[in-house]
A and B are shown apart, each in its own frame.
Chain A
């Protein structure tokens, strides 16, 4: 060790590269678990930072930028990456990672960055594929011509990482631009010719890539006009199976874990407002967040696999033409379909849509797709108004109605896109040009990382909102104008208080008298035309945080302490009679109208929060609330009039 080495010495490194070149693998290999996912200030583009040590003890802070093809940005992601590169200090090292099998393209970006007069280190990734295909790249020659260090690696297995660390110990800026001209244009013919000659001088290719042949063969099926759609349907079917059936078990564990926890707390903490807030406000909110983690984790792992293997580009390829008339593009397919699990991660996954207008439209319509939080509501209401044994032909009517609701969601989403296509104006022209990567096995470590990151974002972004709103709703439903609760308690004083029935009755009457109850009653004139009573009004108010809260609220309103027993809520609701007319409250018309209302209304604070974050303005979430609210009201109104 020489004496100039300072243990406190730190350097900053920025990781730049084309999309799909192994940037994330390299980032993971360098930093391990020492990484943080954040955002660029003010925008929605993800920024990952991490740190690691060099052998001399120097601490390296590394920032992973979104993939970009050139310094001329086309998408939101690229714009942030380019701005970031330009804003780095002249001492910061830019680590350009290149897909060695796509050297020309990578050198374009690399040469543009060299011309920004920054210290650059070039890393050539996927050297395994290069060697397997008998291609030889003259690393020294390349380094000499570019006047920068060039390091061959294989990020997938972590080969060459040590070399990067060695090189980072002493990088000096050579002040040697790629193009000598004063005004180095990003895409001048001069630049392209120089790159072409560099590549032909330093790369000797022996034979055609084997992967290419395999890809062509597979594409014969996967992009075939019949086989393509069939295989797409099969793969989607498998994904939904995985999301809905595999996620069921961990979801149950999480739920029973929370029940267990709340039982323990119930016994150990003395009664009072604080305990009530903890159990019914905070804990209820948290369990509402955590219960979605399995679905989100599975969905994002599968999306990461689709993306990593190269199949995602094929989905976009075969679906683009079908979605174009609706103002969407091929990239919108997966976010829209993922909306059936949860709108929150789906809206986040719409980031891959380069075209801003298409992306906005996709984000706007995703919440119309029936998500899994609607399932408990659908199940309860369908079982309430449709007998289990009724059939349409050979099909179970309950199932048909359920499927109809999903179809309705998709149709509404597509028609809304069509509408927005004519409304949203676009300033910058953008094209749907997409690389079709060769098929390759997924990199499991990056799949896992991607999954963990998305779960982290969900818990933090959506979780905060859900917990906050749960607490607000708890306050609204646990407090009443002064004296009201006392009156109720007085009224039932003579009864035996330990009696469960009476306790439930008190709980129900308290909810009615609470601020939430007042709110529910005050919106009654508004929802009466839809066939809803004030109890449904309260449930609409409380389920503004999350739709599934509807079931729990109904359980309380119809005075059943235990929210688990859906069948008994169902029976109680079935028996509910209107005090004045003496008729059934939950007729077919009311249930149908309520189903339609839940299919369309924007009752999800988490989604609104994520839309705000992704579009960086409150304009879009507010528009969504208004648009979906009106759509829900009018559709429910028409449905009620039709069935009544």
Chain B
């Protein structure tokens, strides 16, 4: 099943399928957030935004609005 990262819950795992925004993709890829990688929803900030995800051994904080453009297969 495919869903946007913004719809995922804490503790869920998935695989990055596609990043819908080109500029966003460039920034994410530079930080190791690459299509094909496993992703783990680590934490939410208070007020449920931003999301902290874990890819490999690193943690990245992404705003929910941007996470909506990241398509994940769960």
Given A69-B30, A108-B30, A320-B50, is A435 in contact with B58 using a C-beta cutoff of 8 Å? yes
Q: How distant is A434 from chain B, measured CB to nearest CB, in Å?
A: 5
Is B56 an interface residue when CB atoms closer than 8 A count as contact? yes
Interface centre among A72, A216, A225, A317 (most CB of B within 10 A): A317
Is A209 an interface residue when CB atoms closer than 8 A count as contact? yes
Q: Which of A612-635 contact B (CB under 8 A)?
A: none
Within the assembled complex, what's the spacing in Å between the Cα atoms of A430 and B52? Answer: 18
Looking across the interface, which residue of chain A has its beta carbon closest to that of B63?
A: A432
Is B20 an interface residue when CB atoms closer than 8 A count as contact? no
Interface residues on A, range: 35 or more
The interface residues of chain A lying within 8 Å CB-to-CB of B13 are none
Q: How distant is A326 from chain B, measured CB to nearest CB, in Å?
A: 15
Given A431-B66, A434-B61, is A104 in contact with B56 using a C-beta cutoff of 8 Å? yes
Q: Which of B10-54 contact A (CB under 8 A)?
A: 23-32, 34-36, 42-43, 45-47, 49-50, 52
Looking across the interface, which residue of chain A has its beta carbon closest to that of B25?
A: A187
Is A436 an interface residue when CB atoms closer than 8 A count as contact? yes
* B45→A436 contact, CB < 8 A: no
Interface residues on B, range: 20 to 34
Q: Which of A427-469 contact B (CB under 8 A)?
A: 429-438
Is B62 an interface residue when CB atoms closer than 8 A count as contact? yes
The interface residues of chain A lying within 8 Å CB-to-CB of B47 are 225, 321-322
Within the assembled complex, what's the spacing in Å between the Cα atoms of A322 and B46? Answer: 10
Q: How distant is B42 from chain A, measured CB to nearest CB, in Å?
A: 8
Interface centre among A105, A216, A433 (most CB of B within 10 A): A433
Q: Which of A102-119 contact B (CB under 8 A)?
A: 102, 104-105, 108-109
* A104→B49 contact, CB < 8 A: no
Contact with B along A60-81 (1 / 0, CB 8 A): 0000000001101010000000
Given A74-B27, A104-B32, A431-B27, is A317 in contact with B60 using a C-beta cutoff of 8 Å? no
Is A223 an interface residue when CB atoms closer than 8 A count as contact? yes
Q: How distant is B31 from chain A, measured CB to nearest CB, in Å?
A: 6
* B31→A435 contact, CB < 8 A: yes
Contact with B along A186-218 (1 / 0, CB 8 A): 110100100000000000000001001001100
The interface residues of chain B lying within 8 Å CB-to-CB of A101 are 57
* A192→B46 contact, CB < 8 A: no
> Contact partner of B61 among A109, A212, A216, A313, CB < 8 A?
A313
> Contact partner of B32 among A102, A209, A321, A434, CB < 8 A?
A102
* A320→B45 contact, CB < 8 A: yes
Given A212-B57, A313-B61, is A433 in contact with B52 using a C-beta cutoff of 8 Å? no
Q: How distant is A546 from chain B, measured CB to nearest CB, in Å?
A: 39
* A225→B61 contact, CB < 8 A: no
The interface residues of chain B lying within 8 Å CB-to-CB of A104 are 32, 56
Within the assembled complex, what's the spacing in Å between the Cα atoms of A431 and B47? Answer: 19
Within the assembled complex, what's the spacing in Å between the Cα atoms of A433 and B43? Answer: 15
Within the assembled complex, what's the spacing in Å between the Cα atoms of A228 and B46? Answer: 8
The interface residues of chain B lying within 8 Å CB-to-CB of A317 are 45, 50, 52, 61
Is A166 an interface residue when CB atoms closer than 8 A count as contact? no
Looking across the interface, which residue of chain A has its beta carbon closest to that of B69?
A: A431
* A433→B46 contact, CB < 8 A: no
The interface residues of chain A lying within 8 Å CB-to-CB of B52 are 223, 317, 436
Given A318-B45, A433-B27, A433-B28, is A105 in contact with B50 using a C-beta cutoff of 8 Å? no
The interface residues of chain B lying within 8 Å CB-to-CB of A189 are 35
Report 20 cross-chain contacts, Cβ distance below 8 Å, ordered by A residue. A70-B29, A70-B30, A74-B27, A102-B57, A105-B31, A108-B32, A186-B26, A192-B34, A223-B45, A225-B47, A228-B46, A316-B61, A317-B61, A318-B46, A320-B45, A431-B23, A432-B50, A433-B24, A434-B60, A436-B52
Q: Using a CB–CB distance below 8 Å, which chain A residues touch chain B?
A: 69-70, 72, 74, 101-102, 104-105, 108-109, 186-187, 189, 192, 209, 212, 215-216, 219, 223-225, 228-229, 313, 316-318, 320-322, 330, 429-438
Q: Known pairs A225-B46, A320-B50, A433-B63; list 8 more (Cβ under 8 Å).
A: A69-B31, A70-B29, A187-B26, A192-B29, A215-B59, A320-B63, A322-B47, A431-B24
